[in-house]
Amino acid sequence: MPELPDVTVYVEAIAERALGHKLVRALIRGPFLLRSVAPPVTAVEGKTVREVRRVGKRIAIGFEQDLWLVLHLMIAGRLHWRDSTPKLSARGPLAAFEFDNGTLTLTEAGTQHRAALNIVAGDAGLWALDAGGIDVLNVSLAEFATVLQSANHTLKRALTDPRLFSGIGNAYSDEILHRAMLSPVALTQKLPPEAIERLYRATRETLVDWTGRVREESRGRFPEKVTAFRQGMAVHGRYGQPCPRCGTRIQRIRYAANETNYCPTCQTGSKLLADRALSRLLREDWPRTLEELEAMKRR
């Protein structure tokens, strides 16, 4: 699933191309993508783009009359910019948004259609889609600590909970915890102040670092290689490979559809975290599916 670094670069690329331009028409293949009925999607046709922003893991395109087209890519949704509008065939894009200077298309790999499109009005409409998590890049250590310890969860769950933190998912939470040298199953309310500060700094550094890397990879082009598994990641997607810090083989925890990668030496005091035992712990602390996680509402 595209997370904060990827969504940020998508937002920048769309803004560069669409700001000040008019949406001529919106073409949608199938009813499963559109998750709202009022305002209708036709309400944004003929309107000029005034703003593009990130709302959690969503991309919000703002038009005249305070109307917003909001996309959630979920796991396999990806965006593309084309000079012309492609046909929406059975194997083609799920949607095409034709502007007066090019077309933004949405594709989704696989047969499970999870990507979502909403048309909303005003800040209230955007607020209703936002789970309410804080943007770690814009808060103090004290604010971060307060949110982190507002409930007693595992660190992995806390970082990926959209009600607590905005835009962080499975991939970058692995990288954050490795950088902070903290166990994914450490409990938030048992962390000492020094560990909280280390996590705060690691979270900010990881997100800034990877946003820069993703931006550099695109180099002015529209981002086409958005993936959860990137070359240069320390632990995510690297099960069985050596830790870049200490050389220990990366291990993993599996629960339902979730997988966490970690270094035993750097993060868990050389202890291996057993899947079966952890499943009992995580049963109450992790949602079983991505849909459950993303459907969490603000507190």
Rounded Cα–Cα distance for residues 173 and 195 (Å): 15
At 29-81, the pLDDT tens digits run: 877 899 998 999 999 999 999 999 999 999 999 999 999 999 999 988 999 99
Structure tokens belonging to residue 50: 């005034």
Structure tokens belonging to residue 68: 């917003």
Instruction: Record the pTM.
Output: 0.90
Is 136-294 CATH 3.40.50.720? no
Locate the DSSP E strands across 169-273.
251-255, 258-262
At 104-141, the pLDDT tens digits run: 999 988 777 789 999 999 999 999 999 999 999 999 99
Name the segment(s) of the chain with CATH classification 3.20.190.10: 4-129
CATH assignment of 4-129, given 3.20.190.10, 3.50.50.60, 3.40.50.720, 3.40.50.300?
3.20.190.10
Name the segment(s) of the chain with CATH classification 1.10.8.50: 136-294
Torsion angles phi and psi, residue 142, rounded to 5: -65, -45
How much is the pLDDT for 229? 84
Half-sphere exposure of 80 (CA within 13 A, CB side): 18
Distances (CA, A) of 18 to 39, 164, 299: 21, 31, 34
Confidence check: pLDDT of 208 > 60: yes
DSSP, collapsed to helix, strand or coil, labels residue 134 as: strand
Supply the mean pLDDT for the chain. Answer: 90
For tokens 């962390």, what's the residue? Answer: 191
Q: What's 276's DSSP letter?
A: H
